[in-house]
Amino acid sequence: MKLFRLVAGLFLGLTLVSPSWAVALLPPDDSAPLAALLAEVTENNPGRSNADLCSDATPMSGNDFKLAQKFPFPGKLSTKRALAQERQSWAEAKYADLHLQLRQQVRDNWYLLGFQRAAIALTEEHLGMMDDIIRLAETRYAVGKGTQQEVLKAQVERSRLFDTLLQFEQKAEVSKARVNSLIGRATELPLGEFPEPVEVSFGPSLAGLREAARAHRPMFRAFDALIGQSEKKEQLARLDYRPDVNVWASYRFRDDDLPDGGTDFISGGLTINLPFPVAKRRAAVAEADAGLRMAHQQRKDFGRQVDLELHRSLTEREQALKLVDLYGGGILPQAEQTYKASLTAYQVDKLDFLSLHDALMTLYRYRIDYARAQADAQRSLARMRATAGLDEIAPVHAPQNEKD
């Protein structure tokens, strides 16, 4: 009997070359329906520029016209520009990473929904098999070969199986709504049919995945930008010890009826901002140093989290693939043979009903576990892909605001 499998194929192949690492990014093997949903995630990206330019003019009043210009100490302006660039890099990289994780959530819930739909189909099929057993038990009872307890037991077990079906249907509806919500659609919209899975060989090493993550994961670039921000803040704090120069010029309009005839005159001057108090600037340098150390520590902590997640996802996928091979190559064929033999024995009065029921439910559980193992392999691969930043998507830019 054909087994129901999860939908959408395993995707993305990696080639890790030794001794130096290299990652060959292959085109994503997402199924056509999933690829279409992921495209909607990008299209529905909320990032858009909404910066407004506004000006406010206040008429000059008074009799004094003055111009002033501040000349910061050399290096301050360039450091401020570099700081602004690092802030922009941080925002864009962080936004890109959030977008990457959003696509991962779509994949994860898609594969979870695929398992739930496969489980629904399997449960409906076994409900039909249970109906056949109930009819057989009723026939045996009618001719005096079976007992009423067997019929009642079969009906109770069918009700329990039907309750399992309702649970899977409820979970599948929630998963469908979650996928639609993640891509910005109405939660009740249908997602279409799920295609057959496509097997894709994938044999990465943990070390290669770690290096790939540091090269491709946007959040590492974000932390690099955060470190850059802290470095520039420290430089500005140290440059604050250096004085700024202010140059000004003024033209004074005077009344004609003044004793001296109201002669207009021009004045100018130069002021220097002395770097006092020193204690305040020393505290600012210490704060910047602490921020820089914290930024480095945050990047290290994030790297450890990524390494742990990659290790966990790789281990889970390897375990899931072993279970897929175990169920598909041994356990399921044996369970099917056991059920067929039990059904034949029950029909000729060589086996009791409970043993037949146990054989049927064992086969059902193994089929569900087989579908779950397939889903776990796909979901762990999707997590691995997102954690390492290996997702070929169009560049995503963070939304801008007026302050930016």
Q: How many helices (H) and strands (E) does the chain have?
A: 8, 3
CA atoms lying within 13 Å on the CB side of residue 305: 10
Evaluate whether 310 touches 381 at the Cβ level (below 8 Å): no
User: Measured between alpha carbons, how far apart are the two ends of the chain, in Å?
Assistant: 62
Domain presence at residue 200: yes
Residue 360 has pLDDT above 70, yes or no: yes
- Give me 205's structure tokens: 């090493």
Evaluate whether 382 touches 113 at the Cβ level (below 8 Å): no
Among residues 370, 378, 372, 323, which one has the least CA distance to residue 2?
370
- How much is the pLDDT for 224? 92
State pLDDT tens for residues 364-387. Answer: 999 999 999 989 988 888 899 899
pLDDT band at 267 (very low <50, low <70, confident <90, very high): confident
State pLDDT tens for residues 91-141. Answer: 899 988 988 889 899 889 999 999 999 999 999 999 999 998 888 888 887
pTM above 0.85, yes or no: no
Domain presence at residue 190: yes
> Which H or E element spans position 67?
strand 64-71
Domain presence at residue 78: no
Residue 12 has pLDDT above 60, yes or no: no
Residue entry with tokens 């945050």 = 298
Largest pairwise CA distance in the chain = 136
pLDDT band at 5 (very low <50, low <70, confident <90, very high): very low
Question: How much is the average pLDDT of 246-268?
Answer: 69
- How much is the pLDDT for 260? 59
- How much is the pLDDT for 370? 93
Evaluate whether 168 touches 120 at the Cβ level (below 8 Å): yes
- How much is the pLDDT for 401? 47
> Which H or E element spans position 303?
helix 278-326
Q: Which value, to the nearest 10 degrees, does the dihedral of the CA atoms of residues 334, 339, 340, 346 take? A: 140
Q: What are phi and psi of 268, to 5 degrees?
A: -150, 170
- How much is the pLDDT for 201? 53
Residue 208 has pLDDT above 70, yes or no: yes
State pLDDT tens for residues 270-315. Answer: 777 777 777 877 888 888 888 889 999 999 999 999 999 999 999 9
Q: Write out the residue range of the structural domain in which residue 136 sits.
A: 32-42+83-241+282-387
Evaluate whether 123 touches 165 at the Cβ level (below 8 Å): yes
Domain presence at residue 251: no
Identify which has the larger pLDDT, 204 or 159.
Answer: 159
Residue 49 has pLDDT above 60, yes or no: no
Residue 394 has pLDDT above 60, yes or no: no
- How much is the pLDDT for 337? 93
- Give me 321's structure tokens: 């693939």
SS3 assignment, position 269: strand
pLDDT band at 3 (very low <50, low <70, confident <90, very high): very low
Least-confidence region, from 49-63, 190-204, 323-337: 49-63
pLDDT band at 7 (very low <50, low <70, confident <90, very high): very low
Domain presence at residue 115: yes
- How much is the pLDDT for 196? 60
Question: How much is the average pLDDT of 19-45?
Answer: 60
Evaluate whether 322 touches 369 at the Cβ level (below 8 Å): no
Domain presence at residue 370: yes
Among residues 168, 177, 43, which one has the least CA distance to residue 103?
43
Least-confidence region, from 12-16, 141-145, 151-155: 12-16
Residue 397 has pLDDT above 70, yes or no: no
CA 218/CA 90 separation, integer angstroms? 9
- How much is the pLDDT for 303? 93
Q: What are phi and psi of 390, to 5 degrees?
A: -95, 80
State pLDDT tens for residues 170-185. Answer: 999 999 999 888 888 8
Question: How much is the average pLDDT of 239-259?
Answer: 72
- How much is the pLDDT for 166? 96
State pLDDT tens for residues 220-233. Answer: 999 999 999 988 88
The domain that contains 306 carries what CATH number?
Answer: 1.20.1600.10
- How much is the pLDDT for 225? 92
**Other CB atoms within 10 Å distance of the CB of residue 265:** 9
Domain count, the chain: 1
Domain presence at residue 27: no
Residues in CB range of 320: below 8 A, 6 or more apart: 373, 374, 376, 377, 380
250 beta partners: 66, 267
Domain presence at residue 403: no
